[in-house]
Structure 1
């Protein structure tokens, strides 16, 4: 069996194994806490129903009103600033879920907008990532030349180290800012930045959702948008290098397999 086929099968097995291990770890870490929170919520619900003598149906209505009012703390989500923030989450595939279209026209336009916008965003971030990698390569070469090193050309490992460091600094700097503006702990801010820049976008933590921030804090809105776009470009540079490294490994294996096949064929013909 060809080595690239073995690698593909190995990757599939490793991925599913990784998923199983992840599921087991998350189960162990989160399930008991989730159960305790659910029981606490049920106790609180029963207490409110008894204390204020309301029906289960009335409580559900109150619950719905509270949940729907949560998104309005950020201000009007669909004015231009909020709409631009929403468009950014669509194009970057972050998809927090903090605001969603409620009209048929809005839902239809979101689908059409995403069909064009997502490929456009991917190409843009990949292109920016390539420029970042090229700039990093130039800087490494210049530094090594000034230090009179024997090897001045930057390797893939060198570039991966540089862009990984840049990604870490971006997350660390962004976390400090979000911790200040949002009142989150620094760890939670790091978590938010990582989830955002990897486009996982759970939506459990979303910036600009407090104190009518979308309308009252334009400088903070600008910072959040620049952070997302710049951070995604840096992360794209890292991913671009990792993918390139994997493709290079596959190409080398294919060439090696072809050379071995040609050698076997030549030996067979010589024996005839």
Structure 2
């Protein structure tokens, strides 16, 4: 089995194994918490129903009203230009928090068309910017190696991955510190928000720019937008390098196989329609071809074992698979059966014929 097939199968197995491990860990961490808080909220719900004499149906209607009114009661106008720009960014970057969604039919139709064009455009843009970033990092690393007078100044993909990973960590930690300050979040929640945002997972449980009117704090809005764009560029560059590293492994294996096949083809010898490689393996069987009629291909070693090929015209081929390619005279042949008869018809006569008629081919 080829290395590429083995690697693909291994990736499939590892992916499903990783999913199973993730499910088991999340189950262990979150299941008990979910059960506990389900019990607590049910007790509070029953308390409000009994205390204010609210029926279950009325309570459900109140819950829906509160849920729908949430975006409109936090003093944050989401569909003025700053909020609309923020929403557009979350669409084309596929973050999709879900904190605000189009409610009109026209808005929904435009959102689909806008995303259809904007997502590929954004992906290509981040890919191009990431490549330029990697080029700059490569140049800087080469100059640093020259300054330290290292013998090897070439920059490998591993070097780029390490640098991109370090930049990603810096962006995540610095952004978490800023959002922890502005949003009054615990640092871990802010770091979680930055990671979920820049990896475009976008759960929407934590969303920046939801406190107060966006138009009253333009500097913070600008910082958030720039952070998302710059952070996505750095994270995309790191992810692309990791993916590229795995893709080049497959490409290198395929190229190696092609080179080996080309080298084998160059060193192969065709013997009466059989292609025999340097290790003595017959690759293809004898083929009936008009240009080989009345031709006998002869082994140059001491075996000289000839047998007739079933054909209307008398032809012979070597029955022994030689162990080395030097045993073969490529395409050296006796043009007719009469040549063998004139030499006596035995293997020694054939050898004498070859020694007199032509020099042995060097292989």
* TM-score normalised per structure 1: 0.95
Shift of 1:242: 1.1
Contact 1:2 1:257 survives alignment (8 Å):
no
Q: In structure 1, what is the Cα distance between the partners aligned to 2:151 and 2:3? A: 35
Structure 1 partner of 2:275: 269
Structure 2 partner of 1:178: 179
Structure 2 partner of 1:61: 61
Mapping for residues 112-151 of structure 1, pairs under 5 Å: 112-151=113-152
Q: In structure 2, what is the Cα distance between the partners aligned to 1:219 and 1:201? A: 23
How far does the alpha carbon of each residue in 1:177-210 deviate from its partner, in whole angstroms, 9 at most, with x for none?
A: 0000111111111111011000010111110112
Structure 2 partner of 1:250: 250
Per the alignment, in what secondary structure is the counterpart of residue 275 of structure 2?
helix
Structure 1 partner of 2:349: none
Point out the structure with the larger helix share. 1
Contact 1:74 1:208 survives alignment (8 Å):
no
How far does the alpha carbon of each residue in 1:192-235 deviate from its partner, in whole angstroms, 9 at most, with x for none?
A: 101100001011111011233x2321111111100000000001
Task: Work out which structure has the larger RCO, using CA pairs closer than 8 Å and 6 or more positions apart in sequence.
Answer: 1
Q: In structure 1, what is the Cα distance between the partners aligned to 2:136 and 2:75? A: 38
Q: In structure 2, what is the Cα distance between the partners aligned to 1:7 and 1:143? A: 35
Q: In structure 2, what is the Cα distance between the partners aligned to 1:236 and 1:218? A: 27
Structure 1 partner of 2:217: 217
Q: In structure 2, what is the Cα distance between the partners aligned to 1:6 and 1:150? A: 36
Does residue 235 of structure 2 align to residue 235 of structure 1? Answer: yes
Structure 2 partner of 1:193: 194
With over 3 angstroms needed to count, the CA separation of the structure-2 counterparts of 1:50 and 1:70, relative to structure 1, is same
Per the alignment, in what secondary structure is the counterpart of residue 239 of structure 2?
helix
Per the alignment, in what secondary structure is the counterpart of residue 269 of structure 1?
strand
Stretches of structure 2 that go unaligned for 5 or more consecutive residues are: 283-363
* TM-score normalised per structure 2: 0.72
Does residue 164 of structure 2 align to residue 163 of structure 1? Answer: yes
Shift of 1:38: 1.2
Point out the structure with the larger strand share. 2
Q: In structure 2, what is the Cα distance between the partners aligned to 1:157 and 1:98? A: 39
Q: In structure 2, what is the Cα distance between the partners aligned to 1:195 and 1:139? A: 30
Shift of 1:21: 0.9
Q: Which stretch has the larger CA shift, 120-129 or 69-78?
A: 69-78
Contact 1:167 1:234 survives alignment (8 Å):
yes
Per the alignment, in what secondary structure is the counterpart of residue 194 of structure 2?
helix
Q: In structure 2, what is the Cα distance between the partners aligned to 1:122 and 1:74? A: 33
Contact 1:75 1:211 survives alignment (8 Å):
yes
Contact 1:179 1:185 survives alignment (8 Å):
yes
Q: In structure 1, what is the Cα distance between the partners aligned to 2:229 and 2:59? A: 42
Q: Which stretch has the larger CA shift, 255-264 or 89-98?
A: 255-264
Shift of 1:264: 6.1
Return the index of the structure with the highest Cα Rg: 2
Structure 2 partner of 1:41: 41
With over 3 angstroms needed to count, the CA separation of the structure-2 counterparts of 1:13 and 1:19, relative to structure 1, is same
Q: In structure 2, what is the Cα distance between the partners aligned to 1:260 and 1:141? A: 33
With over 3 angstroms needed to count, the CA separation of the structure-2 counterparts of 1:74 and 1:113, relative to structure 1, is farther
